[in-house]
Structure 1
Amino acid sequence: SINLDALIEAVRERPRMLLFSNPMNPAGSWLSGGDLSRLLDAVSDETLIVVDEAYAEYAEGDDYVSSLPCLSKRDQPWIVLRTFSKAFGLAGLRIGFGIVGDPQLRALLDRVRTPFNANGVAQAAALAALADEEHLAKVVALARTERARVERFLAGKGLEVAPSRGNFLFFDCRQNASTFVEGLLRNGVIVKPWKQAGFDTYVRVSIGSPSENDHFMAALSQLL
């Protein structure tokens, strides 16, 4: 979970920038609307707020809200980052966008932006993806259903799984994560071991199609 009190204490030091993701990677933790408001209320007007919402499409609903409604009411610089690499499925085109609250900040970003940073094909695909709301809804609904199914499977194996609002799950495999991942790789499954101190038994698995998830669960069962 997110240590909101510690985060609020840190921003009271008036940093030049507050950068965080919501939902967060790798655990999929998120700030509720109330917690997000508490955090933003503690931020100095001099601090640039940057929120990475790469996984927002998977999280919307219940107690999750985008930061945009909160930030749009604030008289300070802010940026919200979004990507087409996740729910929209355009990772190979390397395209995303940022929503900037202050025109002067947007002009400054344009000065340092590299020319031709997004090609025409990627831009056309992004516009088409934004227009196809029905497809996005189907993709997100399937990911949520499969995330819940894989989470139930992992919990049924006695593994601790972090609550997630992303298209992935972060779980304790109860053994060295690197060794565990090598075992999955031999069965054709690629997942990410976490090597940070205190989390060296944790693994992050992305939620795929039903058949891909079946393959992962079968491979995992052979290792436990």
Structure 2
Amino acid sequence: MKPKRTLVGLPVYQPGKPLEEVKRELGLSEVIKLASNENPFGCSPKVWESLKEEESFTAMYPEGLAPELREELAGHLGVAPSKLIFGNGSDEVVQMIARTFMEPGDEAVMADITFPRYKTQTVIEGGTPVEVPLKNGVHDLKGMARAITERTRIVWICNPNNPTGTIIRREELESFLAEVPEDVLVVMDEAYHEYVDDPSYPDTVSLLDRDPRLIVLRTFSKIYGLAAFRIGYGVAAEAVVTELNKVREPFNANRLAQRAALAALGDQDFVRRCFEANRDGMKQIQSQLDEWGLPHFPSQGNFLLLDTGRPAEEVFQCLLRKGVIVRSGAALGYPTHLRVTIGNEKQNERFLDELAQCLGKRRD
């Protein structure tokens, strides 16, 4: 049986290597995973308390529109509830957008290099990805504007960008939007939004009222620590959300995920603590890299893309044997780089100790 034509040659997404798999393969008892930009502090304790309320509802389907979570999140963001759509992770909202607005022969403009699911979903729908190289690890918005044609339906922008962690700033985005035709959607994927501390970062949600072309994506998988629950969301004009709901699976956000997200959203003190710990951890790793003279991109996420000066796969395997899982830049388009998630203080120290051994560096 043959697959659909658009799937021929399409690669399978390769996530960060699972912690359990590494333990089994290498016979290690102590392994730390700094590969998938997960929150090393887990989630708010309030999540586990709230899940007790779902014990008697496990046989029931969830409410498809997530009304309780919708109301709370709308209040948190300052938007109308009708402007929200939930997904099984924000990845599913990416899929919904492509399924709703892309047809065979259409084009989607995106960066090269960025989160790969934009390209994958474009190709699955029979569209053509138009990739514009990054400039110093940052989206080249002027180049992306020039790449828009009459066949362009969507522009994908990951901000902060994965895997570089770099951002585009408010003025740059507003200038770009002024050049984009009215019939082209601009999707701002802000999975790492809560980690940003740069004051020039754009407040995209505030732009929605005057720019119905925008779709803003966010997630509970990162700073909220709910990656296992798989829940993310999009914020867009009500007319856009109406169209997206036509392709949304009826029960895509499960009951436990909705309850967990509701509790996590209500604990902003936990979010602030994670933000501060990430900022401290970022400085902890950056200062050592600077001392070693290893270049790295100025990240506004919870990860760093650093240049080892050696083949990435070689360093990745060395760390793996020592029980430290990171992401090899070879799979991300940076053949001498590693992407490392910022862990807790102890994890960061272990990463630096093991990296020093792999690279023949000294630690004072």
Alignment TM class, shorter chain as reference: over 0.9
Worse-matched range after superposition: 89-98 or 56-65? 56-65
Contact 2:208-2:236 within 8 A present in 1 as well: no
Shift of 1:221: 0.7
Q: How does 1:53-68 map to 2 (within 5 A)?
A: 53-68=190-205
What residue identity is the alignment partner of 1:199? Answer: Y
Q: How does 1:177-216 map to 2 (within 5 A)?
A: 177-195=312-330, 199-216=334-351
Where relative contact order (Cα < 8 A, 6+ residues apart) is larger, the structure is 2
SS of 2:240 mapped into structure 1: helix
Residues 32 and 197 of structure 1: is their aligned pair in 2 closer, same or farther, counting only changes over 3 Å? Answer: closer
1:93 aligned to which of 229, 252, 257: 229
Residues 144 and 11 of structure 1: is their aligned pair in 2 closer, same or farther, counting only changes over 3 Å? Answer: farther
Runs of 4+ in 1 over 6 A off after TM superposition: none
Shift of 1:77: 3.1
Write the distance in 2 (CA, Å) between the matches of 1:219 and 1:191. 12
Contact 1:12-1:42 within 8 A present in 2 as well: no
Identity among equivalent positions (%) equals 38
Write the distance in 1 (CA, Å) between the matches of 2:196 and 2:268. 16
2:180 aligned to which of 43, 67, 76: 43
Q: How does 1:118-129 map to 2 (within 5 A)?
A: 118-129=253-264
Instruction: Spell out, residue by residue over 1:125-152, the C-alpha distance to the aligned partner (whole angstroms, 9 max, x if none).
Output: 1011111111101111110111121111
How much is the aligned-residue C-alpha RMSD, in angstroms? 1.6
Partner of 2:206: 69
Q: TM-score, normalised by structure 2?
A: 0.59
Contact 2:170-2:202 within 8 A present in 1 as well: yes
Write the distance in 1 (CA, Å) between the matches of 2:151 and 2:287. 42
Q: TM-score, normalised by structure 1?
A: 0.93
Write the distance in 2 (CA, Å) between the matches of 1:173 and 1:95. 34
Shift of 1:123: 0.3
Residues 80 and 116 of structure 1: is their aligned pair in 2 closer, same or farther, counting only changes over 3 Å? Answer: same
What residue identity is the alignment partner of 1:176? Answer: P
SS of 2:201 mapped into structure 1: coil
Shift of 1:78: 2.5
Contact 2:155-2:187 within 8 A present in 1 as well: yes
Partner of 2:124: none
Shift of 1:71: 3.3
SS of 1:171 mapped into structure 2: strand
Worse-matched range after superposition: 112-121 or 197-206? 197-206
Count matched residues: 222
Name the larger-Rg structure. Answer: 2
Partner of 1:7: 144
Write the distance in 1 (CA, Å) between the matches of 2:340 and 2:288. 13
Partner of 2:291: 156
SS of 1:205 mapped into structure 2: strand
Contact 1:36-1:67 within 8 A present in 2 as well: no
1:82 aligned to which of 218, 239, 261: 218
Write the distance in 1 (CA, Å) between the matches of 2:245 and 2:178. 29
SS of 2:338 mapped into structure 1: strand
Contact 2:163-2:332 within 8 A present in 1 as well: no
Write the distance in 1 (CA, Å) between the matches of 2:201 and 2:148. 22
Shift of 1:154: 1.1
Contact 1:32-1:63 within 8 A present in 2 as well: yes
Shift of 1:41: 1.3
Residues 43 and 186 of structure 1: is their aligned pair in 2 closer, same or farther, counting only changes over 3 Å? Answer: same
The alignment status of 1:26 with 2:163, answered yes or no, reads yes
